[in-house]
Amino acid sequence: MTTRRSMLTLLGTAPLASTALAPARAGAEPAATGNAAGRVPDGLKPGGELDRLVADLAAKDQFSGTVVLTHRGRTVLSRSYGMADKARLVPNGPDTAFALASVTKLFTAVAIARLVEQRTVAYTDSVGRFLDGFPAGIADKVTVHHLLTHTSGLGDHHMAPGFWDQAANWTSPESVMAGCTAFIRQSSPAFEPGAGHRYSNSGYHLLGEIVARASGRTYYDYVREHVFAAAGMYDTDFPARPQRATDARIAHPYGKQPSGERVDLTDRMMFVGTPAGDAYATAADLDRFGQALLQERLLTPPVTHITLSGKVPMPPPPGATPPPPTTTFQCYGPIGGYINGHATLGHGGGSPGASTSIDLYPDTRWSVVVLCNYGDNAALPVAQLARRIITTT
């Protein structure tokens, strides 16, 4: 049985993705890079290699979710498979909202950038300028920059002893935010800020607390107005557990047991998502977010450039021999880099009941969104094949 300790619902993974070195402004056509800039590869068309892969994975019960590919703002492929709610026989569809896991961190990063534009937050600000009760090693030394780039030394509060036992008793957004922050206050950085790179759910949670303190609003309300509404994401939100259990538009997360049985994990997740993970969105909404970000409709051009520029070189995956032929960087939120002459930008997320990714290709204006209510990196084969076709055709 899946235990609360094993329900690390916000542990994100980032599919290989890269930085938008020159974001496309609204209405502007970026310079062509190879044939892929001017045509749709056969492998991405309906009935093509990618379409067949998704259908095959779904037939084997290895994929349940929605895939949306757009090119220059036009939908090329949209497919939904599997069930949003197996008990009530509700199928996944284009209007189904999925738990995004760590893709949510992109929204938190953009919220911080909006506050930078308003000059209420600076990337060099320390945690202690906004939040109290932290030891000096965090309050005085960890900056917004460190939190955004996973270089703070902080790790994952979900792994702390007793976390899931206490989280079971949190029944409001306020108690979830305060409860997570209390656990982070008890932690110590694994290294001096800036001296290493360690993926950090705790860091992004603190960014959400900074959004709330700097804006004078709750994190949730600020993101709803300045990210979701600004991008036209009207089917995206942070639904609480009671709504997630009953709303037919929301996909239930399913974890796979050793027996092979898939179990509904809705009751085992936190009451509501956090700045580190588990906003819920449709694939179309997530595509809108990516387009709005690249077209500088969410942030001013200078801050868009700062947000999407590489900050910290990413190490190759453990055991990768030889190193993959890519250059990747941690940006302010996304993972950025360069693959076969193509700039890409994106992020992914994973948990026992979710696997998600968004990959953007600014030079050829492709967007690939894969949202799945199964875990086990179910979105990864789809995103990887799309990436190979886009960057090698």
Query: Based on C-alpha coordinates, what's the Rg of the chain?
Result: 20
Q: How many CB atoms lie within 10 A of CB 288?
A: 24
CATH for 112: 3.40.710.10
Is 149 among the domain residues?
A: yes
Question: Cα dihedral angle (270, 273, 276, 281), rounded to 10 degrees?
Answer: 140
- What pLDDT is recorded for position 368? 98
The tally of domains found in the chain comes to 1
Of all residues in the chain, the percent with pLDDT exceeding 70 is 88
Is residue 32 pLDDT above 80, yes or no?
Answer: no
Lowest average pLDDT, out of 60-74, 181-195, 312-326, goes to 312-326
CA 145 – CA 278 distance, rounded (Å): 23
For every residue of 252-280, DSSP letters joined together read PPEEEPTTS-EEE-GGGS-SS-BTTB--E
Is 26 among the domain residues?
no
Tens-digit pLDDT profile for residues 41-68: 999 999 999 999 999 999 999 999 999 9
| 317 prior amide bond cis, ω within 30 | no
pLDDT at 325: 57
- Catalogue the E-assigned strands of the chain: 65-71, 74-81, 83-85, 90-91, 98-99, 254-256, 262-264, 280-281, 312-313, 326-330, 335-339, 342-351, 354-361, 366-372
pLDDT at 279 exceeding the cut of 70: yes
How high is the pLDDT of residue 120? 98
Residues 116-129: tens digit of each pLDDT: 999 999 999 999 99
Q: Which residue(s) pair with 347 in the sheet?
A: 358
25 lies in a domain? Answer: no
In a domain, 19, yes or no: no
Burial class of residue 378, CB neighbours in 10 A (0-12, 13-18, 19+): buried
Any bridge partners for residue 250, and if so which? 97
Residue 308 lies in a domain: yes
Whole-number Å distance between alpha carbons of 263 and 36: 41
**Does the pLDDT value for residue 17 go beyond 50?**
no
**Tokens found for residue 35:** 């044939």
User: Domain span at residue 335?
Assistant: 35-392
Predicted TM-score of the model (pTM): 0.90
Whether the predicted pLDDT of 318 surpasses 90: no
Asked if the structure places residue 95 within a domain, the reply is yes
pLDDT for the residue numbered 315: 74
Evaluate whether 17 touches 367 at the Cβ level (below 8 Å). no
Compute the mean pLDDT over every residue in the chain, rounded to the nearest whole number: 90
Q: Is residue 115 part of a domain?
A: yes
Is residue 18 a part of any domain in this protein? no
Q: Which helix (H) or strand (E) holds 297?
A: none
Q: Residue 28: what pLDDT? A: 39
Q: Which SS3 state, helix, strand or coil, does residue 78 take?
A: strand
